[in-house]
A and B are shown apart, each in its own frame.
Chain A
Amino acid sequence: METVTKQNQKVNTTKKIKISGAEAVVKSLLAEGADLIYGYPGGAIMPVYDEFYKYQNELHHVLTRHEQGAIHAAQGFARVTGKVGVAIATSGPGATNLITGVADAQIDSTPLVCITGQVGSHLLGSDAFQETDIISISTPVTKWNYQITKASEIPEILAKAFYIAKSGRPGPVLIDITKDAQFGELDFTYKKCKKLEVIHLYLK
């Protein structure tokens, strides 16, 4: 009995320091001071929205009526404050509806971080429901983009996203996060990005 209890305690302790990828998204946004964001929910981003519900006292999410509204609102916020604007949407049409605003932010040098949900990584390339290759679509209109397929990548990639959006000539960054990466677990520590030696499209 005693052994079993000890094992349970050990498991519980380990679980306490692990959080989900979705929660890591929220904690990363808060670490960047991004507590006012704009978006529209949908299937492939639901784990993150579930965390928005839990963190609603710390992070204010504004539900717009269309993803294009969300990204333009994020642009308006960024332009009037000088801070990075954040827009979030689901995969497929949610992601493509952001694109006009991404292109607008690119040509007008507006710092944005866009987060899109993506189908589970095992479904990538299978024409799954609401799957679209938003990385290819957004490549010519973003300053940087990246697809996260593992929960453990989330803090570092979001830190880079905020840094790249705001540094030098500002611009939009798009981070696509597969649903399994949102559900997956990681040990969360957040270190703000202060400098990148090389900014490369396929930066790991």
Chain B
Amino acid sequence: MSKIEEAAELINNAKKPFVVFGQGVTLGEAEEEFKAFIEKAEIPSASTLLGLSALPSEHNLHVGMVGMHGHYAPNVLTNSCDVLIAIGMRFDDRVTGNLETYAKQAKIIHFEIDPAEVDKNVKTDVAVLGNVKDTLSGIIPFLKENRHESWLQEFKKLYQIEYKEVIDGQLNASHEGITMAEVIETLNDKTNGEAVIVSDVGQHQMIASRFANFKLPKSKITSGGLGTMGFALPASIGAKMGAPNREVVAIIGDGSMQMNIQELGTILQTKVPVKIIILNNEFLGMVRQWQELFFDKRYASTVMTNPDFIKIAEGYGIKATRVSKRENLSSAIEDMIASKESYLLDVNVEKEGNVFPMIPTGATVSDVRLK
């Protein structure tokens, strides 16, 4: 029996199959094959950070993102599935948490192009080597059409808990201070989910990843594995030049913005019309969040005294505005998107917002903190 047939047999007999997909789907340009695969066997599917936009966010089998700041349901149910199908992903520690307690109950199938990744972090039962475009189209004929209604319901139930405990409060905040989630949600609305979102590293990156609505492939560009602050501004320049007909929006924290701020000069010289949103909380927010949670709020070197980003943008010939009140957010983003030229929007968000859910480093994947 070939590896493909072995994998198909495990999937066909699974009661609770679960897919975690990564950037391999995007790099293999296998979005259509992937969709056909999960639809035929009706498998709930969660993305890694770099897998985002390989499957439209609103697809009924897309159950969110896994990982440290991923969604509640896919993280918790990683430890309930009976077959875990990893597709073009590499079991990064931010995805798995404690390996000793990661999906131990499940059979593991790994679709992977790089043999070095197989059994590196998680021991597989069946490894299917190759470009996922080939291996996924190869397995589809062996798959049974299947339905997993009650299993899908488990994801929906947990999503309701996450919505009530976390998401609702961020999207429908009544307290003073715009939340990062509100900004991304408004951006979804004004771009119809068709923008390329280039994010930097930190809280804004996680919120952008959790809340952005992706309709098209290759729409999420971020520094995942290395976590390079300063990535987004220059990467958005390259992305806009590579996809001139798409709206490209860089989502950048106030700390990250200052790590490659000189690239505003490249925008000035080339007139590349990228849109820049600074989610400005005057903190190195992710480090501050860890200091709040794990270091008794000792905010060592995370308070930022920032320059006037509007004046800086103007110095580089880039239109810029600031928004600090919720009621002005929608029109500010609308103006930014309407601009034919590059545009910088400095959004003053709540200062000490936290990114939840969260799996603390080294904890079990199902041991998710909601607050």
- A-side residues, CB < 8 A to B, are 36, 38, 62-66, 68-83, 85, 100-101, 103-104, 107-109, 168-170
Distance of A169 Cα from B26 Cα, bound (Å): 12
- For A108, the chain B residues whose CB sits under 8 A away are 23, 50, 223-226
Q: Residue B234 contacts which of A72, A81, A170 (CB distance < 8 angstroms)? A: A72
Distance of A78 Cα from B224 Cα, bound (Å): 15
Is B114 touching A169 in the complex (CB atoms < 8 A)? yes
B185 within 8 A of A: no
Would you give the shortest CB distance from B87 to chain A, in whole angstroms? 14
Is A69 touching B262 in the complex (CB atoms < 8 A)? yes
Is B239 touching A68 in the complex (CB atoms < 8 A)? no
Q: How many A-B residue pairs have CB under 8 A?
A: 116
Would you give the shortest CB distance from A84 to chain B, in whole angstroms? 11
Distance of A70 Cα from B237 Cα, bound (Å): 10
B282 within 8 A of A: no
| Identity of the chain A residue whose Cβ is nearest the Cβ of B23 in the assembled complex | A109
Q: Residue A70 contacts which of B114, B234, B241, B265 (CB distance < 8 angstroms)? A: B234
Is A76 touching B235 in the complex (CB atoms < 8 A)? yes
21 residue pairs bridging A and B, Cβ less than 8 Å apart = A62-B241, A62-B266, A64-B263, A69-B234, A69-B260, A73-B235, A73-B237, A73-B263, A76-B198, A76-B221, A76-B238, A76-B239, A77-B239, A79-B218, A80-B242, A81-B218, A82-B218, A100-B228, A107-B224, A108-B226, A169-B113
Distance of A107 Cα from B113 Cα, bound (Å): 15
B interface residues, tally (CB under 8 Å)? 38
B270 within 8 A of A: yes
New A-B pairs, 18, CB < 8 Å, besides A65-B265, A75-B231: A64-B263, A64-B266, A68-B234, A69-B263, A69-B266, A73-B237, A76-B237, A79-B221, A79-B235, A80-B196, A80-B221, A80-B238, A82-B27, A100-B228, A101-B228, A108-B223, A108-B224, A109-B27
**For window 248-299 of chain B, which residues contact chain A by CB distance below 8 Å?**
248, 260, 262-263, 265-266, 269-270
| Identity of the chain B residue whose Cβ is nearest the Cβ of A74 in the assembled complex | B238
Distance of A170 Cα from B225 Cα, bound (Å): 14
Distance of A64 Cα from B236 Cα, bound (Å): 13
- B-side residues, CB < 8 A to A, are 23, 26-27, 29, 50, 113-114, 196, 198, 218, 221, 223-226, 228, 230-231, 233-243, 246, 248, 260, 262-263, 265-266, 269-270
- For B230, the chain A residues whose CB sits under 8 A away are 68, 72
- For A74, the chain B residues whose CB sits under 8 A away are 238
Interface of A, helix, strand, loop or mixed by DSSP: helix
- For B248, the chain A residues whose CB sits under 8 A away are 80
- Known contacts A108-B23, A168-B113, A168-B114, A66 near B243 by CB under 8 Å: no
- Known contacts A108-B23, A169-B114, A80 near B239 by CB under 8 Å: yes
Distance of A8 Cα from B44 Cα, bound (Å): 75
- For A80, the chain B residues whose CB sits under 8 A away are 196, 218, 221, 238-239, 242-243, 246, 248
Q: Residue A65 contacts which of B114, B239, B266 (CB distance < 8 angstroms)? A: B266
Is B236 touching A76 in the complex (CB atoms < 8 A)? yes
Would you give the shortest CB distance from B205 to chain A, in whole angstroms? 13
| Identity of the chain A residue whose Cβ is nearest the Cβ of B131 in the assembled complex | A168
| Identity of the chain B residue whose Cβ is nearest the Cβ of A68 in the assembled complex | B260
Distance of A109 Cα from B49 Cα, bound (Å): 13
Distance of A152 Cα from B270 Cα, bound (Å): 34
Q: Residue A107 contacts which of B198, B218, B225, B269 (CB distance < 8 angstroms)? A: B225
Would you give the shortest CB distance from B127 to chain A, in whole angstroms? 14
- For B236, the chain A residues whose CB sits under 8 A away are 76
Q: Which of B23, B233, B242 has the most CB of A within 10 A?
A: B242
Would you give the shortest CB distance from B200 to chain A, in whole angstroms? 10
Distance of A146 Cα from B225 Cα, bound (Å): 25
